[in-house]
Amino acid sequence: MSLPGWVGDVFEARRREFVESPDDEGIFGPPIPRAGATEEDITRLRARFSQPLEEHYVEFLRYSDGMENFALGRPIYGSRDWLSGRAQAESEEFLRVQKDILRLDVGIPDGTEIIPISMEEDRTSGVFMIPPGDGRGRIFWLSHGDLCFYTDLRQLFRWAVSFDPSEIN
């Protein structure tokens, strides 16, 4: 099964960055695709959460059950990351610490299920999925007090293709 363009574009952008600047400290390793999740894995992942999974996230999982080095060295969690406990372990502390910011600044009511789909290694920022109905989008990136909403995972991947790591710092 070939990658849909919006997923393949991110793999190509990260691979190109790595090949063109392997000694640059601002460039992370190449993207690492995985075999796609099975329908059974996706069904188990859906059962884990009370909200429906965003449709492009499910599409992504069918092609690559997670990805290392999506952007800024961050992963995109796949079903195996949830089923192994990795995603929960990496995001639990961040969500606990950020609870008031999520409620007050982001406007996400207490009790809303927030699904981490990516977490920075130092646990200072992450990408999350929220239930449908918020007019800003299903996916948001919270990083060091900055917040950006995306309508869906495909829009986040489009951002990642145009992202230039040399613009940091």
CATH of the domain at 134: 3.40.1580.10
Question: What pLDDT is recorded for position 163?
Answer: 66
Number of domains observed in the structure of the chain = 1
Question: What pLDDT is recorded for position 8?
Answer: 85
**Edge-to-edge strand list for the sheet holding 115-119:** 115-119, 125-129, 139-143, 146-150
Calculate mean pLDDT across residues 44-58.
Answer: 94
More confident residue, 103 or 166: 103
State what percent of residues in the chain have pLDDT above 90: 31
Range of the domain at 101: 5-167
Give the alpha-carbon dihedral of 6, 10, 12, 13, to 10 degrees.
130
Whole-model pTM: value is 0.85
